[in-house]
Structure 1
Amino acid sequence: MTDFRMVFTKYDGSRHWHETLELLGEDQHGLWIGASSGSVIQRGDEPPITLPQPHVILIPAEPHWWTVVFNGPQETYLEVYCDICTVPVRTDNQVTMVDLDLDVVRRWDGVVEILDEDEFEIHQVTYGYSPEVIASARKAADELAEIVRSGAEPFATAYKPWLAKVS
C-alpha cells in the first residue's frame, strides 16, 4: 500500500480538509485514491473525524476545477461529492488544491444539487477571490452539475471497481 496525501487549503493558505489515503491507480479519468471505512479525515487543526464509509477520490486527468469523492453504498446520504477547487497540483505522493466552497452532490436517490452558494458569496469578500477565480469556480460548478445529472462517466459506473478495492 502506498500512502497518498490529499490536502485542501482555503484561499488564504490556511489548512482545510486533509487526509491520508491509499494510492489505487490511474485510468483515463485520472488518479484514484481511496480509504476503507474507519479512515480518518481532519479539517485544519480540529479533532480528526473517523469516517464510517469506504470512499474513493478522483483527481481528474485533465486540468479541472474540481475533485470528486464517491462514497460506499448508502453509508452516507451522498453517493457523489464534488469539491469545486483550484486545479489540483500533484507532487510525488500528495495532491493539493484550494477549496472554493461550492460543492456538487448527488444523493442516493439521484437528486443533484449545488451546495454552499452562501459560503461562496461570503468568501468572495472574506478571502478576496479574484474575478477569474469567481468565474472559474461558478462555471465549474454549473458544468459539473450538468455532467453529473447526465450520468456520464466517471459518474456512472467507472468508480465502482476502484471503490471495490477499499470496500
Structure 2
Amino acid sequence: MKFPMVGSTIEVQSYKHNATLHRVWEETVILKGTTQEVIGGNDRIIVQESDGRQWRTREPAICYFTANHWFNVIGMIRNDGIYYYCNLGTPFTYDQEALKYIDYDLDIKVFPDMTYKLLDEDEFAVHKKQMNYPDEVEVILRRTVDELVSWISQQKGPFEPGFVEYWYERFLTHR
C-alpha cells in the first residue's frame, strides 16, 4: 500500500459486509500514514450516508486506523473533554481512492472519564442474519470488544493521555 503524504487529504469510506457503501467522510488530513497505522484529523466535515443524507461533524476529531486490529477510533474534541467513538470493523485498506474498511455495526462510546458503553448490539444481530455474517466474524468481533475494553482501561494507544491533543496540534499546522 502506498500512502498519501502527511498534510494531504483523503476520503474515508465504510462499507457493510455485503459490499454496499455505508458512509463517506469527505476530507481527513493525513498526520501519519504507514502500512500499520493511519492517524488523521478533520473538523466539521461533511459525512454522506448511503441513503444520500448528508450531515456535518460538530467538532474537531482525530482518527486512528490500524492494520492489525478490527477497530478504528475517533477522538472527538468537545468543550467538556474528549469523547471516543470506536467502530468495530475490519482493519483498513488504502487504494489511492480512499481509506476503506467494513463496518460491523458494534460500536463503543467512551466518555471523558473513560467510562464506556457498547452500542448497536441490536443492529449487529439484525445485520448478522440479513448479511449472513460468518461465525468467525462474530468470534473476532467479540474478542475485539474485549481488546478495546482493555485498551480503554489501560489508556493504551489512542486512549493514552495526551494522544488526541498531540495529534490535534499537528492537525492545526496542516490545515
Using the size of structure 2 for normalisation, the TM-score is: 0.83
> Partners of 2:64 and 2:97 in 1: how far apart?
14
What is the alpha-carbon root mean square deviation over aligned residues?
2.2
Residue 145 of structure 1 aligns to a residue whose secondary structure is: helix
Pick from 53, 63, 70: which aligns with 2:59? 53
Residue 105 of structure 1 aligns to a residue whose secondary structure is: strand
Report the CA distance between 1:145 and its aligned residue. Answer: 1.5
2:113 is aligned with 1:106: no
2:32 is aligned with 1:25: yes
Match of 2:3 in 1: none
Match of 2:45 in 1: 39
> Partners of 2:142 and 2:117 in 1: how far apart?
13
Q: Could you say if the C-alpha distance between residues 3 and 45 of structure 1 is closer, same or farther in structure 2, counting changes exceeding 3 Å? A: farther
Pick from 64, 71, 82: which aligns with 2:69? 64
Report the CA distance between 1:91 and its aligned residue. Answer: 2.0
Report the CA distance between 1:130 and its aligned residue. Answer: 0.4
2:140 is aligned with 1:132: no
Q: Could you say if the C-alpha distance between residues 78 and 46 of structure 1 is closer, same or farther in structure 2, counting changes exceeding 3 Å? A: farther
> Partners of 2:96 and 2:137 in 1: how far apart?
26
Residue 52 of structure 1 aligns to a residue whose secondary structure is: coil
Match of 1:86 in 2: 90
Letter paired with 2:40: I
Higher share of residues assigned helix: 2
Report the CA distance between 1:120 and its aligned residue. Answer: 1.1
Answer whether contact 1:6 1:95 (CA < 8 A) is retained: yes
Residues 6-58 of structure 1: per-residue CA shift (max 9 Å, x gap): 1001111111121121112248x82111112x211121142211112011111
> Partners of 1:13 and 1:78 in 2: how far apart?
32
Match of 1:142 in 2: 146
Answer whether contact 1:5 1:93 (CA < 8 A) is retained: yes
The percentage of aligned residue pairs carrying the same residue is 21
Letter paired with 2:12: M
Q: How many residues align?
A: 164
> Partners of 2:125 and 2:97 in 1: how far apart?
33
> Partners of 1:152 and 1:8 in 2: how far apart?
24
Using the size of structure 1 for normalisation, the TM-score is: 0.87
> Partners of 1:97 and 1:25 in 2: how far apart?
18
| Structure 2 gap segments, 5+ residues each | 1-6
Match of 2:164 in 1: 159
| Structure 1 gap segments, 5+ residues each | none
Residue 110 of structure 1 aligns to a residue whose secondary structure is: coil
